[in-house]
Each structure stands twice: as structure tokens, then as C-alpha cells.
Amino acid sequence: MPSASENYGGEEIRPINLLFRELLIGVTSFFRDPEVWEQLRDEVLPLLLAGRPSGRALRAWVPGCSTGEEAYSLAMIFLEALERKSLQRKFSLQIFATDLDADAVQRARQGFFPITIAADVTPDRLRRFFHEEARGYRVVNEIREMVIFAPQNLIMDPPFTKLDVLSCRNLLIYFTPELQKKLLPLFHYSLNPGGVLLLGSAESASGVTRLFTPFRGKSRLFRRTESDSRPDLMAFPSSFNVASSDATKTVRAPLPSPAGLQAEAERWLLQNHAPAAVLVNDEGDILFISGHTGRYLEPAAGKANWNVFVMARESLRLEMTAAFHQARRRPGPITAHQLPTGDDSAAHRVDVTVEFLTEATALLGLAMITFHALPPLPAVVVGRGGKPRRGRAQVGEWEQKVQQARAEVQRMREEMQTSQEELKSMNEELQSTNEELQSTNEELTTSKEEMQSLNEELQTVNTELQSKVDELNAASNDMKNLLNSTEIATVFLDNTLKVRRFTEKATKVFKLIATDVGRPITDLASQLQYPELSTDAQEVLRSLVTLEKSLATHDGRWFAMRLMPYRTMDDRINGVVMTFTDVTVAKKLEAELRARPGGSPPK
């Protein structure tokens, strides 16, 4: 049975993570659909640079960058566009490349690609934008410094903004049509006016023609257009939408299972309140109504809208909205007291209570707005002359209004103070972040200078090493020519009697070829009638005494052999040196002298 986790390169990866990685599709290549890149280089980028002041950088975003080929292609196209248009002003391009696969992002940062990219990249681009290495090509620093890679979930994480180019090619085809309709308005929001959107060959922005206008041809290049209507943003966890009282606000779909919602809402009302009430979501859209709320709410004129702030009567709207936002910021019920209902009778008052529910049920996160009707105020006493007498009831009503006004002013003052404190805190955080970024930039600059200094030192060491290698090669060539000029067959053996080097003359004694280096001398065939070769060589290694012998070959030749220990410069024994001198002529002359009558070899 497989274990609960596997270990890959020292990192423990759970099977669920392995399955997740297998589900990711990382298909990409350099300059896919070449005609798109040509139109981007020759038409689109010059158009973006035409009205841009010198020194200002373009911003680009490549979501779903995989291993980085598309992002690097965009950087190369940008440099080619500057050269083709002979733009003398200084322009730069900052590319943000993101992907859900952290492993792919890590490989993209390295900028190293296999040799097979030569099928997609022209030889000119390979020479200019890549360094050739042993097993592939590495992107040059000029291109790598233009791209910033980072992991990102396109659906959940906040997008990059103020962009001039957004390249999302062959990514939307993996999303549902509903998600595509939400992402395209998001791309419109991220781009600057006149910004450019690149889509894949199988993708189209035809569903949102009010947001993008296609360029000429079929290259899937679109330009951002201005739209009077505000596009709906995706519900990212880090984003929010402010509740609006606009009468044209679209109705949000009710939560699933209305029957369950109604049962939970009725149970909560029975346990806590019995007055008229409405259940709303965090933006004020009504989900459930309990009791008679006609005195407090009424449908607004125009398009049907079930937002409670739109339906609230004018006399309740301001205070109820303030109580709703206050309840959303802090736990517990918030009550607005003594609010006029706005009907024909001025004596009717109501207390409006707003409370966000925190029970772990289907109501979690929703808000309950209850209306507590108050007893009507006493009628105004009419005095002499038909004029109303300002009795205690009326004075109390005025005092209540003054207190409400004071409380409202105090609440607004507290909110302003809170906002100022938050802004000050945010400003301090931004200043701290700016200082950290400056410090980081200085550290990076220092690191870059250190790397440059180290690179110069490495170049100096490399030059010295190359000089030493050249000297060694020259010495090796001199030694080879010296040994060959002596007409002496020489074989160098190591301590295990394996061939380390030999001269050309040695091939006349042993059947040696270049690949025999490293083989034992006993494994090689020779013409010598000398079976004791390995034994004598071992004895020379043991005794360190030079051995000399005359040896005959099977084809009638004679050699004077010498075995001596191989000594290093520091006087260490590191093998055996065998030399063979051809003495066949001398041996034949000696044999002839012996063959003469009464002859004897010279002494």
C-alpha cells in the first residue's frame, strides 16, 4: 500500500497535492501564433508608445504564465519594437507573470529552457536573447530583469491594475462561460484607457463588445473601450462592494433553499422578537419578510428593486442606513430610537434595530432589521384663538429631536476621528513599507555590485586558469614529442598495473589503442615471450629496484626492457615505467659472430 506522502527532492508532498499538480495544464511555448506577435510588435506597441512621455514604463500582466515562455516572448517583442521604430526615447516594460502552479513559477524564474526551443525561436533571437549552455538555453539578464514572477490564484487573489498590456492566451478556455463573463470585466478594470488585451486563438471577447474593441484581422487583439456602465466585479475575498441606494441596482439572487431560510428566520423571530422584521444580506437585499412592514417599507418607483435602503421610507432611510453600517462594524444590536414613520399621522414613532446574526446556521452573516412600533404621542392641546399650546409633550418631542441631532453629530464626529486615525495608521504603514522597499532596493543594488565584483574576480581567475591550461597543454605536447623522438617504446602503469599512458613505439610491442588506457597490462596481447611481466612489475613496486632484461618476441625481434618505479615531484611512488629498446640488429650480429668457426662474441 502506498504511503501517505512521498518525498521529492527533500520536500514531502501529500498525494492530494500531487493530484492537484497533475490536474494543472502547463502547455506553453515561445511565440505561439507568430502573426499575433508580429502585429503586436509592428502595430500595437508603437501605438501605445506614441503618446507616452519618455522614461515612463509600460506595465503588462501575464496571468497563467506557466513556465514563463509567453512572458519572455512579450519582453523580446518589446525590445524588437523599439529597434524597428528607431525610438530614441528611453522606454521600459515591467511584466508581472503569475500562475497557480508554484513549481512552474520557480522554473520560470530560472529562465533555463531545453534545446528543443530552437524549433520555436529563430536563430537570430537565440543568439541575441539566450546564452547557450550544456543542456539548453538560458535567457539573458536584460530579458529576465523585465519580468517579475509570482504565484497567484486568478479567481481568488486581487488583480494587477493600471496595465497597458494584458496577455491571457489560451487560459479562458479552461473556465466555464459564467466565470469567463466575470473575468473579462475584471480585465477591463485592470487595464488603462486604451490598454490592449491578448486572447488565445480559441477565445473571444465578443460577449463583452461594450468593453473591448478588436484590432484588424483575426489576431485576437482587443483594445479597452470606455463604458458608461460599471462592470460587476468578481466576489474576491479581498474585495468588497459598498451597499448602494441607487434605484437601478440589480436584484441579487436569493440564497438557495428558501424554505429552510424561512424556517430559520421564523424560529429566530419567535425566540427574540415578535414585531415586523426583514432578513437582508450584507448589502441590504431583502431575503425574507415577517409581519406587516407597509408602514416602514414601500416599493420604489421604476425598475423593481428589493434593496431595503431603496424601499425604506424617507423618514427612516438615513438613520436605518447609519445603524446598518454601524452594526456591520461591531457585534451586537444597534437601535435607532424614536424615528417618525412618515405616514399621515405624525404621532407614530418606531424603533429600528439592526443586528448581524452570528449563529452557526444558514443565517450566519445575514442581518435582521426589526421595527418596534411605539405608542403614539399625545395629541397637541389647542389653546385660545385656535393656536396649539406648547405643552410638555411637544417640548419633550423637541428635546428628543435635539438629543437625536446631538447623538448623530457625535456619531459622525467619532466616525471621522476613527477614519482619520485609520488613515494616519495606513499612512504610517505605507511610509514604513516605502522605507522597507528602499532598504531592499539598496540591498539589491549592493548585492548586484557584489555580484559584478565577484564576476570580475571569476573572470580574472578564469583567465589565469586558461593560461595555466595553455601552459600545461604546451608542456604535454613537448613531452609527447620528446618521448616519440627517442624511438623508445614507453608504457606508464599505475600502482595497480593499469595503463596510464604510452608512446607510439609501444604499439609495436603491445597491441595498444587509445581506449586501452585504464586497462590492466595483463589483459593486453603482446609479442613478448615474457609471462613474468606482471610478477616483475609487482617486485619493482615492492623493492623500488630497477630491473633490466633482454626479451625476445614471437616474430624474432629483441628488446632491452627496463622496469623502474615512477616517482612524482614530491618523491612518491605512483606506478611503474616500462621502456623497450629495439636491439634486434645487435642480437643478429652477435648470432652471426657466434656462428663463425672458432668465433666468439666480442667482450
CATH of the domain at 16: 3.40.50.150
Cβ atoms of 97 and 149 closer than 8 Å: yes
Residue 146 CB partners (closer than 8 Å, separation 6+) = 75, 78, 92, 93, 94, 95
Q: How far apart are CA 233 and CA 37, in angstroms?
A: 30
Of 49-53, 319-323, 358-362, which has the strongest mean pLDDT? Answer: 319-323
On whether both 432 and 560 belong to a single domain, the answer is no
- Has residue 602 been placed in a domain? no
Whether the predicted pLDDT of 5 surpasses 60: no
Res 273: pLDDT = 58
- What pLDDT, on a 0 to 100 scale, did the predictor assign at position 206? 61
Cell readout for 405 is 441631532
What percent of the chain has a predicted confidence (pLDDT) above 90?
A: 18
Grid cell digits, residue 228: 458608461
Better pLDDT: 143 or 249: 143
Cell 595483463 sits on residue? 522
Same domain, 123 and 218: yes
Instruction: Supply the pLDDT for residue 240.
Output: 37
Residue 2: is its pLDDT beyond 50? no
Task: Please check the confidence at residue 29 and state whether its pLDDT lies above 60.
Answer: yes
57-71, 229-243, 327-341: segment of lowest average pLDDT: 229-243
Q: Is 254 helix (H, G, I), strand (E, B) or coil?
A: coil
Pick from 115-119, 357-361, 422-426: least confident: 357-361
Of 237, 229, 249, the C-alpha closest to 189 is: 229
Q: Are residues 75 and 180 in the same domain?
A: yes
Residues 525 and 433 in one domain: no
pLDDT of residue 589 exceeding 80, the answer is: yes
Same domain, yes or no, for 268 and 362? yes
What are the tens digits of pLDDT across the range 96-146? 999 988 888 999 999 999 999 999 999 999 999 999 988 899 999 999 999
For residues 371-376, give the mean pLDDT.
82
The CA–CA distances, whole Å, from 339 to 204, 318, 347 equal 54, 10, 10
| Residues 195 and 263 reside in one and the same domain | no
Query: Is the residue at 271 inside a domain?
Result: yes
> Is residue 239, in this structure, part of any structural domain at all?
no
Residues 414 and 498 in one domain: no
The answer to the question of residue 558 being in a domain is yes
- 256 pLDDT exceeds 60? no
Neighbours of 364 (CB within 10 A): 11
Residue scoring higher pLDDT (88 or 552): 552
Using pLDDT thresholds of 50, 70 and 90, give the confidence band for residue 581: confident
Whether residues 302 and 427 share a domain: the answer is no
Higher pLDDT pick, 387 / 251:
387
In which region does residue 369 sit, left (phi positive, over 0), alpha (psi from -120 to 50) or beta (all else)? beta
Q: Is residue 600 part of a domain?
A: no
Number of domains in the chain: 5
Residue 584, domain member (yes or no): yes
46 and 145 part of one domain: yes
Specify the higher pLDDT residue, 500 or 391. 500
Among 377-391, 396-410, 420-434, 465-479, the minimum mean pLDDT is found in 377-391
Q: Same domain, yes or no, for 275 and 145?
A: no
The pLDDT assigned to 243 comes to: 37
Last residue of a domain, one of 224, 239, 266: 224
User: Which of 352, 377, 402 is at the close of a domain?
Assistant: 377
Instruction: Check: CB of residue 548 under 8 Å from CB of residue 561.
Output: yes
C-alpha cell at 500: 596510464
pLDDT of residue 487 exceeding 80, the answer is no
Helix (H, G, I), strand (E, B) or coil at 352: strand
Residue carrying C-alpha cell 517583442: 77
Note whether residue 147 is domain-resident.
Answer: yes
| Residue 509 belongs to some domain of the structure | yes
Query: What is this structure's pTM?
Result: 0.41
Residues 331, 421, single domain; the answer is no
- For residue 414, CA distances in Å to 68, 336, 391 come to 51, 17, 35
The CATH number linked to 557 is: 3.30.450.20
Q: Report the candidate in 94, 100, 110 with the shortest Cα–Cα distance to residue 148.
A: 94
Confidence of residue 55 (pLDDT cuts 50, 70, 90): low
Do 490 and 473 have their domain in common? Answer: no
Segments forming the whole domain that contains residue 71 = 6-224
Comparing 423 with 10, the larger pLDDT belongs to 423
Average pLDDT, the chain: 80
